[in-house]
A and B are shown apart, each in its own frame.
Chain A
Amino acid sequence: MQAFTTLDGIVAPMDRANVDTDAIIPKQFLKSIRRSGYGPFLFDEWRYEDRGEPEMDCSKRPKRADFVLNQPRYQGAQILLARENFGCGSSREHAPWAILDYGFSCVIAPSFADIFYNNCFKNGILPIVLDANTVDDLFRDCFAQEGYRLSVDLQAQTVTTPDGQILHFEVDAFRKHCLLNGLDDIALTLADADAIRAYEARRQQEAAWLF
């Protein structure tokens, strides 16, 4: 997994609540057996006028000019600013894969759906929760200033605005450690193999029907 340490990037505002994972990456793209290549299909139904299919060459597809990611000022954005309950719905990890593949590695919102939030950390994406009023202010500034950027520091757990305001965010210590170091948590769990075996031996005595 790619580590996440600091990021200074252009912010793209996704100004709607309850953005679901079906919207982030529609179902037809879930047929792929790979982890990459989803970026061109991120928000496919909102981004293009035609129906997308896997393996399509998206450079020739008609784009919806009013969609945020199609606007010139947000090209190259690396931080996605979102509203409440971002990533609700399906557990498809194709959603964070598409977000990452597009070029975002940080999503800021007042709240996230649990499974999506968790999936982000497994893929080198930092999801940041800030309170609704703060997110509102960020939306306002982002719309007002072309080229609006934020600077994120995971170690310090801060987001810094262009005018120097420092916003603090919370992140679970273990997830932070894994993300900062790009750690594979399977290897960490396998370090506890003896504890897992001991647990299984005990449970086999207590609840043999489970084995």
Chain B
Amino acid sequence: MGQTLFDKVWQQHVVKANDDGSVLLYIDRHLVHEVTSPQAFEGLRLAGRKPWRRAASVATPDHNVPTVDRDKGIADPVSRTQVEALDRNCAEFGITEFGLDDVRQGVVHVMGPEQGLVLPGMTVVCGDSHTSTHGAFGSIAMGIGTSEVEHVLATQCLIQKKPKVMRIQVDGALPTGITGKDIALYLIGQIGTAGGTGYAIEFAGEAIRALSMEGRMSLCNMAIEAGARCGMVAVDQVTLDYVQGRPFAPKGALAEQAEAAWRQLHSDADAVFDKELRFQAADIVPQVSWGTSPEMVLPVTGSVPDPADARDDVQREGWQRALDYMGLTAGTPIAEIAIDKVFIGSCTNGRIEDFRQAAAMVRGKQVAASVKLAMAVPGSGLVKAQAEAEGLDQIFRDAGFEWRDPGCSMCLAMNADRLEPGERCASTSNRNFEGRQGMGGRTHLVSPAMAAAAAIAGHFVDIRDWQ
């Protein structure tokens, strides 16, 4: 019997199988940021432990960093303490860090692939649930808590039980205007936020193959929003082309040897999955979330649902609470929802392709007068530099957007970038939970092109009709 992609990578990383069915799993790459690591480093210090393999970990501050006036330092003393703690810990334990003054600094899940720190077939962890992003490279990538951050630092391993494996196939050509983000939101809407709990998901099919690496990263990034700790896409030429030549990627003969191994990273034709689901790409239209959970999502052509149509009491209560929180009325067409702010960026949509797609929508246009703030926040210093080299920053600025420095920014609003109570945002981030972008803030998740078009129109629009 053939093996799944997940099984192949898993098997290559088993250090030891335990009697209870768990394994000691070796971790190739550990990405570190300032929020979930200080207590882990403190744990090492208290126990007198050292990192097992320093070179496996690479750090960058992202969650807390300012996206304006960076030369003035971090104004919030609590945030500054945390970023400085990362600097100190990395220096003390000998871990490479791309600090605030380094052009390579950025959202950890943008920085990692950009540097070639994430390679096909690796096991990748980070104290951040959106580590699932890196499954786009055919790697097993998962978010962990701080105790496990400490465990990986100390041992380079994790004790893990093998999850079940689900394949989600999206058949047919990718329709115009549909991105990895739309596919992710559509699938979460179909299977629910707990639909992938206990599973690793492999995304497959023609529409997935048609995605760029940026699109695949957006998709795998949101696997966690379906409850799956990892999402994966098989390695193909698109993957290999992306990896080639990146600073930490293998070079020369080693690269050839690696590529030969990476070409094996796909599920065998006769592989058996614990669960298989199929969807048609033609059914996917640009998506907009309306509620306070990523599964509360609709096509832009849809209307806000009526709690009377919910499947059960728990869902009905959830929908009603979401409508109240979001200040929406059942039956309102999505395209009539007006917005106050726009955020383009995050580990989901902070890569160069995202800014190209958004810039294409706003070129030569103006942000609607009713929109208080439209922000474009590159995912890394290098994405920013690339966008500026292409003149994208000028397109955004001319349209009335603010062009910021890289960081997580208003995806989770740990820095000064946040919504005020009642403000409504078209956001390219990944979570529309209550308070996620600021207490009382109302988040609608969309693709970069949809966010950009909403900034111009002042409300959501179907970008397939965009002139």
By a beta-carbon cutoff of 8 Å, the part of chain A in contact with chain B is: 16-18, 20, 22-23, 26-28, 30-35, 45, 51, 54-55, 83-85, 88-93, 96, 111, 113-115, 118-119, 122-123, 172-174, 184-186, 188-190, 192-193, 195-196, 199-200, 203, 207-211
By a beta-carbon cutoff of 8 Å, the part of chain B in contact with chain A is: 12, 15-16, 18, 20, 22, 24, 26, 28, 35-36, 38-39, 42, 47, 49, 52-53, 55, 63-64, 76, 78-79, 81-82, 85, 119, 121-122, 127-129, 131, 143-148, 150-151, 154-157, 159, 161, 163, 193-194, 197-198, 227, 229, 249-250, 254-255, 257-258, 261, 293, 314-315, 317-318, 321, 412-414, 431, 433-436, 439
On whether the beta carbons of B314 and A27 are closer than 8 Å, the reply is no
On whether the beta carbons of A186 and B49 are closer than 8 Å, the reply is yes
Contact of A207 among B64, B229, B261, B412 (CB under 8 A): B261
Assuming A18-B293, A27-B414, A123-B147, is B155 touching A203 (CB within 8 A)?
Answer: no
Chain A residues whose CB sits within 8 angstroms of the CB of B433 once the complex forms: 20, 22-23, 89
Contact of B155 among A45, A89, A118, A186 (CB under 8 A): A186
CB-defined A-B contacts under 8 Å, sample of 11: A22-B435, A23-B435, A27-B413, A31-B78, A45-B435, A93-B147, A173-B20, A190-B154, A192-B15, A192-B24, A195-B15
Assuming A28-B414, A85-B193, A115-B229, is B255 touching A186 (CB within 8 A)?
Answer: no
The docked-state distance in angstroms from the alpha carbon of A23 to that of B28 is 32
On whether the beta carbons of A89 and B431 are closer than 8 Å, the reply is yes
On whether the beta carbons of A115 and B414 are closer than 8 Å, the reply is no
Assuming A45-B435, A174-B18, is B122 touching A210 (CB within 8 A)?
Answer: yes
On whether the beta carbons of B197 and A31 are closer than 8 Å, the reply is no
The docked-state distance in angstroms from the alpha carbon of A182 to that of B271 is 40
On whether the beta carbons of B435 and A26 are closer than 8 Å, the reply is yes
Chain B residues whose CB sits within 8 angstroms of the CB of A207 once the complex forms: 12, 121, 258, 261
Chain A residues whose CB sits within 8 angstroms of the CB of B159 once the complex forms: 174, 185, 188-189
On whether the beta carbons of B122 and A196 are closer than 8 Å, the reply is no
Chain A residues whose CB sits within 8 angstroms of the CB of B258 once the complex forms: 207, 209
The docked-state distance in angstroms from the alpha carbon of A119 to that of B121 is 26
Chain A residues whose CB sits within 8 angstroms of the CB of B121 once the complex forms: 207
Chain B residues whose CB sits within 8 angstroms of the CB of A16 once the complex forms: 317-318, 321
Nearest CB in chain A: distance from B311 CB, A: 12
Chain B residues whose CB sits within 8 angstroms of the CB of A83 once the complex forms: 314
Given A22-B433, A31-B76, A115-B143, 20 other A-B contacts at CB below 8 A? A16-B317, A18-B318, A22-B434, A22-B435, A23-B435, A30-B414, A33-B42, A35-B39, A35-B42, A54-B78, A84-B314, A91-B129, A114-B229, A118-B144, A185-B159, A195-B16, A196-B24, A207-B12, A209-B255, A211-B55
Which 6 A-B residue pairs are closest in the complex by CB-CB distance?
Answer: A122-B147, A209-B250, A93-B145, A33-B38, A119-B145, A91-B143
Q: Which residue of A lies closest to B250 (CB)?
A: A209
Chain A residues whose CB sits within 8 angstroms of the CB of B436 once the complex forms: 22, 27
Nearest CB in chain A: distance from B165 CB, A: 14
Assuming A23-B435, A89-B431, is B197 touching A113 (CB within 8 A)?
Answer: yes
Q: Which residue of B lies closest to A95 (CB)?
A: B145
On whether the beta carbons of A91 and B47 are closer than 8 Å, the reply is no
The docked-state distance in angstroms from the alpha carbon of A26 to that of B431 is 13
